[in-house]
Chain A
Amino acid sequence: MSERALVECRALTKRYGRKTALDSIDLKLESGKIIGLLGPNGSGKTTLIKLLNGLIQPTSGEMYIDGQKPGIYTKGLVSYLPDKNYFADWMTVEDLFNIFEDFYSDFNRAKASEMCRALGVNELDKIKTMSKGTREKVQLILVMCREAKLYLLDEPIAGVDPAARDYILNMIISNYADDATIVISTHLVSDIEKILDEVIFIKDGHIVRQSAVDDIKEEEGKSIDELFREEFRWIAPTEGGRADVR
């Protein structure tokens, strides 16, 4: 008997007016994996993550997390890193830790304080006085200090300098439980491919590939980055024409 998938989407569709962001996708994600959700800008990655978080509603289709539709129960299971800064001006890092401690029973306060010390973040500093990079670090600390079942990380390394990327990736892989799943949405494939167990290629709202990284390397003899570049090759605009991905 097969184990129930942690995440399951059935014919999931999302349209914004006339634009179809996700087109009838079927998807299953198992527990205990680090999964790369890879695709160019505008391919539907953020839309899928927002749908799983209940921040937007599907036009049609169904989705389940641990067998439940997105709601209060699933929000307790999911730790979400959005591609936006969601802090209010008045907050200090300590306030944010208090909020997470109040609302998430799986938030590890001691670990969060320890990570702040390691990253040189002062818990008493106001968020509005921090640099963009420091704010992103704080947001990542909040997300990774939860002992969640599913981590949905939307572009976690897009805003940080290359030197900090390795540190952040190391922080991600060393701070999650064995049975948890991490979904990392990004187009910076070469930076994250070494930590991935599985990849999902998404293009124009369609899942074009879902495979284990080892299978790809074995069958195709290529790195994920090479395969990604091949799959999403940029077609330069011709005279009078328009740019497109293949």
Chain B
Amino acid sequence: MLGKLMKYEFRSSMGRIGIAWGAMLGMAIIAGVFSRIGLMKIAGNGSSLAWVLSLLEGISMFLYVSLVVAAIVVTVMMIISRFKRGLLGDEGYLMHTLPVSKTELIASKGLVAAIILLGSMLAISLSITLMNSIINKAQVVQNIKAFFEPFAHEPIGIIVFIEGMILFVACLLIVIYKVYLAMSIAQLSDDHRGLIAIGAYFGINIAIAILGTIVGILTVKLSIGTWVVELIKRNVIYTQINLVALMAFIVLAIVLVILHVATERILSNKLNLQ
């Protein structure tokens, strides 16, 4: 059922964000073309053609930056509104009466939100690359080569890169789930839900920071560091990078599970559809 829920969640989300990505990529090409023309200096300094080209370059660049900001805003707003409307608003009358678990409902929203967030980041990166390719193709090719070169010399770099990506996605999910939990707490009240959600979001961050400090103190007290060093010595964990990634992943997974369970419990036991 999770797959089916995600399918409909994608359909709900992709319309607006697809337009935002398309507009941003299109404007990146236009801004790149005008910048390229500007660099070619086809008009003499001070001529009216040079002035017009310079104006078009400025306007297209301004519009591109505006569309990047718009894509970011649309992404954030959509993550919030898809959860709010879908599970806490009128659409909730359909979603909460489907024969699926609350875990599936929340996970479908969270996973699709994370994919869209990643998609927006990729679309922004692609638009920058696209624009720079038009302005200076050789430089972009050189940059891409420089990025992949370490992987050729040190194949373990690919594993480190993948580990980094997994941790990055886990971090994105945590940010999304903190927003979900804050909104779930706010729906317990009949009024001022927006303000309560903002307060709850800060409260959750403070709680996680306190939890992190406690875990840090316990790690030292319980000599977990010594135990881990022993694992490295016995070749159970191969590199220090893997060790750091593993530890970070465990911590992030625990935080994610706590946030998910808290949201799930609130929606299971204290759902307050008005």
| Nearest chain B CB to A76 CB, angstrom units | 4
Partner of A102, one of B4, B12, B92, B96: B4
Residues of A within 8 A of B270 (CB): 57
B-contact 0/1 string along A95-108, CB 8 Å cutoff: 10001001110000
B138 proximal to A (CB < 8 A): no
Pair B96/A17 contact, Cβ less than 8 Å: no
Residues of A within 8 A of B8 (CB): 95, 99
Partner of B100, one of A17, A50, A72, A80: A72
A238 proximal to B (CB < 8 A): no
Q: How far is the CA of A76 from the CA of B93 in the complex (A)?
A: 15
Residues of B within 8 A of A76 (CB): 99
Q: How far is the CA of A56 from the CA of B99 in the complex (A)?
A: 16
Pair B12/A78 contact, Cβ less than 8 Å: no
A167 proximal to B (CB < 8 A): no
Pair A104/B99 contact, Cβ less than 8 Å: yes
| Nearest chain B CB to A145 CB, angstrom units | 15
Pair B273/A50 contact, Cβ less than 8 Å: yes
B90 proximal to A (CB < 8 A): yes
Task: Say which one of A83-91, A210-218, A229-237 lies at the interface with B.
Answer: A83-91
B94 proximal to A (CB < 8 A): yes
Pair B94/A86 contact, Cβ less than 8 Å: yes
Residues of A within 8 A of B94 (CB): 86-87, 99
Pair A75/B98 contact, Cβ less than 8 Å: yes
Residues of A within 8 A of B1 (CB): 103
Partner of B93, one of A72, A78, A84: A84
Pair B99/A103 contact, Cβ less than 8 Å: yes
Pair A75/B190 contact, Cβ less than 8 Å: no
Residues of B within 8 A of A86 (CB): 90-94
Residues of B within 8 A of A95 (CB): 8, 11
Query: Which residue of chain A has the shortest Cβ distance to B269 in the bound complex?
Result: A57
Residues of B within 8 A of A57 (CB): 269-271
Interface centre among A73, A88, A99 (most CB of B within 10 A): A88
Pair B101/A72 contact, Cβ less than 8 Å: yes
Given the interface contacts A16-B190, A86-B90, does A53 sit within 8 Å of B97 by beta carbon?
Answer: yes
A82 proximal to B (CB < 8 A): yes
Pair A75/B271 contact, Cβ less than 8 Å: no
| Nearest chain B CB to A215 CB, angstrom units | 33
Pair A90/B15 contact, Cβ less than 8 Å: yes
A163 proximal to B (CB < 8 A): no
Q: How far is the CA of A16 from the CA of B273 in the complex (A)?
A: 12
Query: Which residue of chain B has the shortest Cβ distance to A53 in the bound complex?
Result: B97
Given the interface contacts A17-B190, A102-B4, does A55 sit within 8 Å of B100 by beta carbon?
Answer: no
Q: How far is the CA of A102 from the CA of B75 in the complex (A)?
A: 28
Residues of A within 8 A of B97 (CB): 53-55, 75, 78, 80
Interface centre among A54, A75, A84 (most CB of B within 10 A): A84
Q: How far is the CA of A86 from the CA of B86 in the complex (A)?
A: 9
Q: How far is the CA of A84 from the CA of B93 in the complex (A)?
A: 8
Interface centre among B90, B92, B97, B100 (most CB of A within 10 A): B97
**What would be 20 A-B contacts, judged by CB atoms less than 8 Å apart?**
A50-B273, A54-B97, A54-B271, A55-B96, A56-B273, A73-B99, A82-B93, A84-B93, A86-B93, A86-B94, A87-B91, A88-B12, A88-B91, A90-B12, A90-B15, A95-B8, A99-B94, A103-B4, A103-B99, A103-B100
Having A55-B271, A57-B270, A75-B97, one finds 5 other A-B pairs with CB under 8 Å, namely A73-B99, A78-B97, A82-B93, A84-B90, A87-B94
Q: Which residues of B contact A (CB under 8 A)?
A: 1, 4, 8, 11-12, 15, 85-86, 90-94, 96-101, 190, 269-273
